Amino acid sequence: MRSVLLLWCLLAVAAATASGPAAAVPDPAITPEIAVSDQDLRTFVSVFRSIREAYVEPVDDQKLMRAAIRGLLSSLDPHSQYLDADELKAWDQDISGRYGGLGIEVIAAGGFLRVIAPLDDSPASRAGVRAGDIILAIDGKEVDGNDADAVDLLRGAAGTRVTLTLDRESSGTPLELSMVREVIRTRSVRARLLQPGYGYVRISQFQLNTSADLRQHLRQLASAKQPLRGLILDLRDNPGGVLDGAVEVADLFLQAGLIVTTRGRTEGANRSFSASAGDLLAGAPLVVLVDAGTASASEIVAGALQDQGRALILGQRTFGKGSVQNILPLPAGGAIKITTARYYTPSGSSIQAQGIAPDIELADRQLAPLDHPAQMISSEASLPGHLNAVASASAAAAPATAATATDGELADDYVLSSALNTLKAMVIARRKPTVGDPPAGDDQPTVQQR
């Protein structure tokens, strides 16, 4: 018989090889058929029995069966996996934003455990873990990226110490970083004013309440006396999160139009999400920062705002995780996380393995002051014996303006500093001429509304 029931066969093998009483086997008449050759089935049964009978140490039948299921899912893509009860609990904790661990997002790929991004203000970020690092060992134990249990070693009770051995491209030798696990309460949104009228919002990951938090922060940044002239949305090292959270965040800055579509093989996997009326910034310029650690749901936000012409994307090409995973609970406990669709931006571009290309590509650099600034004549006022200015009536009447205080982080974050300068240029470019402005002439360009 060429058509057999794979699921029925797997459970039948487990029941037949169990040492206890015979377990119930599902009825093939009510189980969907999956075409598998007789030879494939015989091969699986032979491998299962050979391991059980000849492996150097006894192997628990249920553990072996779970390993077979893990292998079935891990062979599909890096994101499909089997979750036992503990792993499912950990997943729920990620979504709710509270768990015990290091605050680090990782992915198993090519036999390695690679860091996507450390969460803000987490033990991992404070210890110096960076996006792109490869975890070679945890507490001296070599890490196998193909082992689904490897990620579990990163989590644990708050207060326990763990040492990570990392391979970093810029470092010639492995790095050892020690840190103490904490109860990670991930605050997905942080916000502040960089300068009066210029806001900054950092989203570290997308959770169920991210859009509500963002709305509140934006209201706090703006005031009746000083509305926001422009905003920087920082999605660097944002590993993603909840799809609905990303859609809602993009919707806050859009008046209408498509945000994202998902396409898969089932009817439920084919969905589209569109924006509702109401831009919280009322059209004020928006700059979005991205890098190689910007992944999944954060790429949806960047792609939507870019394709709709709502924001300027600045930084580096994003990670390229453009696939949708659904959690499907299993009757016996646990669940499977399985890829069911791909993301597509409003223009129809696939994010998967492509990422989002920034409008302005900008390498990540650090700024540092010169040890000995060059001594040079920088202005007419620095020349010996220069003539003094003759104050006009309007200048004499104008009160002196105090120097604007700048955000301390701008001093060493090259990308953020460049983003602020870009945002200011966008504000100037969209400013309408006002009554009393001199008429445009050959030497007086007109500022146009954009």
What one-character DSSP code corresponds to residue 187?
A: -
C-alpha–C-alpha distance, residues 284 and 290, integer Å: 20
- CB atoms near residue 168 (< 10 Å): 16
Question: Cα(136)–Cα(159) distance, rounded to whole angstroms?
Answer: 23
Alpha helices in 176-266 (DSSP H): 210-221, 243-251
Distance from C-alpha of 74 to C-alpha of 53, rounded to nearest angstrom:
25
How far apart CA 424 and CA 231 sit, in angstroms, is 10
Contact 101, 93 (CB under 8 A): no
User: Looking at the annotation, which residues are catalytic?
Assistant: 296, 307, 321
Q: Rounded to whole angstroms, how far apart are CA atoms 65 and 63?
A: 5
Cα 161 to the center of its chain, rounded Å: 26
For residue 343, what are the CA distances in angstroms to 141, 198, 260, 351?
A: 37, 32, 7, 6
The Cα–Cα gap between 48 and 194 comes to 61
Q: For residue 69, what are the contacts with CB-CB under 8 A and spacing of at least 6?
A: 10, 82, 336
Q: What three-state secondary structure class fits 177?
A: strand
- The structure tokens listed for 59 are 């192997």
The owner of tokens 């491209």 is 169
d(CA 364, CA 95): 29
Q: Do 259 and 275 form a contact (C-beta atoms < 8 A)?
A: yes
Cβ contacts of 47 within 8 Å, gap of 6 or more = none
**Could you give the count of Cα atoms lying within 13 Å of 31 in the half-sphere of its Cβ?**
16
Distance CA 112, CA 357 (A): 26
Length of the chain in terms of residues written: 450
- CA–CA separation, 191 and 198 (whole Å): 11
Q: What angle do CA 340, 346, 350 make, to 5 degrees?
A: 45
